[in-house]
Amino acid sequence: MSNPKQLSVQALQWNGRSLSVLDQRLLPEKIAYDDYQDAAGVAEAIASMRVRGAPAIGIAAAYGVLLSAMRHYPADNWQDSVEKDIQQLAASRPTAVNLFWALDKMRRRLNESNADPIAELTQLAQQIHAEDIAANHAMGEFGADILGDAKAVLTHCNAGALATGGYGTALGVIRSAYKRGHLQNVYADETRPWLQGARLTVWELAQDGIPATLIADSAAAWLMKSGKIDWIVVGADRITANGDAANKIGTYSLAVLAKQHGVKVMVAAPYSTFDFSLASGDSIEIEERNPKELLADCYLQDDSLVTAWNPVFDVTPAELISAIVTERGVIIDPGKNGVRSLQTC
Ligand SMILES: CSC[C@@H](O)[C@@H](O)C(=O)COP(=O)(O)O
């Protein structure tokens, strides 16, 4: 086994006065960072998916609020200007609750701060960032315990260092399991239409010296039928009070297929991905992106008879999930046991 090295490319870097965002649209061909000095820029980076992945967009939004405060403080009514920027950040993408969780935390700190708001907001944004990395390492160990001596897994989308503060949720579990020496192969779905698997996940794994095998999304059923994988390991964008989990479009089909083939499904996500205010996944807003992401250019004119429907997330019901792994512990069979045991005020 080669010695895994820490991924040196980071999705987000705070520079003291600006946020550097790795443009994930250009990977794996090009590693390029854009520098943002205001919240509007960060909101655009999230909406355009330069930065993507639920925890990473939460962290980016936290720095966006900080940049807003740095810009407006101490002008008159500076909090109102920051609140407008918070609204703009909140409108960037709807499905991942980590975005709203981070904005709420920053807003609360802003409203409570008195002596030095910039210092306090800097401390909180950096804490959100650092705690996400620590959570991923904890999840990695819990998840690897559950995988045991599994030899091969399938993952979907990119739930890695690129989608988080670092180390990754699903890929954190995979990294930790690989270090233990049992896991030999990681299958990655292409993840159409944006190709997070083909462009990001296999690249990220290879950077770490972990063998990866790319498959077309439509090959997943046959992979399971062939008995080549023991587990599917994915991340999540929002987990509701009954344990339903929204994740990248295609996750639900994998979970249905997994049931048919006796493959287990693990969802790895930090506590910031839980939304206890929603009873079930039926209430999650599913982002629909521009049909341009699917359609050939010749179908883009207004009078085209060909259109496209482009939902980019789906919801996997709790009863199709074998285990939810968080930094606070693991829930086996969330469909039976629920996830309320994790809830704190
Ligand atoms: C740790 S990332 C978990 C999820 O955010 C990830 O699986 C996913 O669906 C990302 O979607 P994306 O549209 O690329 O932001």
DSSP 36-76: E-SHHHHHHHHHTTSS-SHHHHHHHHHHHHHHHHHHHTTST
The CATH fold assigned to 140-342 is Rossmann fold (3.40.50)
Sorting pLDDT into bands at 50, 70 and 90, what band is 338? Answer: confident
Residue-wise pLDDT for 2-14, tens only, equals 444 455 689 999 9
Report the atom number in ligand 1 closest to the C-alpha of 248: 9
Answer whether 117 contacts ligand 1 (Cβ < 6 A): no
Nearest CA to ligand 1 atom 10: 53
Per-residue pLDDT at 3: 40
Measured in whole angstroms, the distance separating CA 106 from the mean position of its chain's CA atoms is 20
Is a pLDDT exceeding 70 seen at residue 300? yes
Per-residue pLDDT at 341: 86
Average pLDDT score over the chain: 96
Per-residue pLDDT at 2: 41
What is the value of pTM for the model shown? 0.96
Asked whether the beta carbons of 175 and 140 are under 8 A apart, the reply is: yes
Residue-wise pLDDT for 147-172, tens only, equals 999 999 999 999 999 999 999 999 99
Residue-wise pLDDT for 97-127, tens only, equals 999 999 999 999 999 988 899 999 999 999 9
Instruction: Give distance in angstroms: CA of 79 to centre of ligand 1.
Output: 31
Does the domain at 12-132 match CATH 3.40.50.450? Answer given as no
Per-residue pLDDT at 1: 38
For residue 236, count other CB atoms closer than 10 A to its CB: 30
281 is in an annotated binding site: no
Answer whether 312 contacts ligand 1 (Cβ < 6 A): yes
Could you tell me the CA-to-CA distances from 57 to 104, 179, 307 in Å, in that order?
14, 28, 29
Residue-wise pLDDT for 77-98, tens only, equals 999 999 999 999 999 999 999 9
Answer whether 157 contacts ligand 1 (Cβ < 6 A): yes
Instruction: Give distance in angstroms: CA of 314 to centre of ligand 1.
Output: 11
Residue-wise pLDDT for 197-227, tens only, equals 999 999 999 999 999 999 999 999 999 999 9
How do the domains of the chain map onto residue ranges? 12-132, 140-342
Instruction: Give distance in angstroms: CA of 164 to centre of ligand 1.
Output: 9
For residue 1, count other CB atoms closer than 10 A to its CB: 12
52 is in an annotated binding site: yes
